[in-house]
Amino acid sequence: MAIKELFRTMELLQEQHEALIELGEQKREAVVRNEVSRLPELTTKESRLLRLVQEAEQARQKAVAQYCVSKGVAANPGMSMSSLVRLETNVGDKVRLEELGNRLVETVSRLSALNEQNLELLRQAVDFNEFTIGLLTGSEDQDVVYKPPANYNGYGAGARMFDSRA
């Protein structure tokens, strides 16, 4: 039955998105704990899982098209969840379809929020590293400590702590 295949693909997508959330949380922990060596491994796992999500999404679109055909409606793989729910006549299947759709939307929203948080954490880490390097090497834009012009020591404007001549 077409509805069973649709249920199966939606449940698979739900599981895969939950796995992506788990990986995202692991990435966040790795960034917070400065475990940079874990990030490539986690990113590789995430890429593999994203490929599986794409395959599952294609299977879901096929299942939607088959379901539409079984209901006598023109196949439309991009049909909205509310339209699919309206097509279903069995009350139990209608409720299950609606629940699966709502859970998937909620999970995707949580994943999106987590990805935004991770992106912000990475931006902050990069900014902090740039700031630290700027402190160590000297900044061309501004001095860290104010010096009145009378106390100017004669070094050029671009002089850095580590600049020296051999």
Domain boundaries 2-140, CATH class: mainly alpha
Model pLDDT, residue 74 = 86
**Cα dihedral 136/138/142/145 (nearest 10):** 60
Tell me the per-residue pLDDT of 74-96, one tens digit each, with 9 for 90 and over.
887 778 888 888 888 899 999 99
Neighbouring CB atoms inside 10 A of 35's CB total: 13
Residues whose CB is less than 8 angstroms from the CB of residue 97 and which lie 6 or more positions away in sequence, other chains included: 3, 6, 7, 10, 81, 84, 85, 88
Model pLDDT, residue 36 = 86
- Sequence spans of domains, the chain: 2-140
Model pLDDT, residue 150 = 64
Taking all residues of the chain, what is their mean pLDDT, rounded to a whole number? 85
Does position 153 have pLDDT exceeding 70, yes or no? no
Does position 154 have pLDDT exceeding 70, yes or no? no
- The pTM assigned to this predicted structure is 0.76
Identify the DSSP state of 157.
Answer: T
Tell me the per-residue pLDDT of 98-141, one tens digit each, with 9 for 90 and over.
999 999 999 999 999 999 999 999 899 889 888 888 888 765 55
Q: How long, in residues, is the chain? A: 166
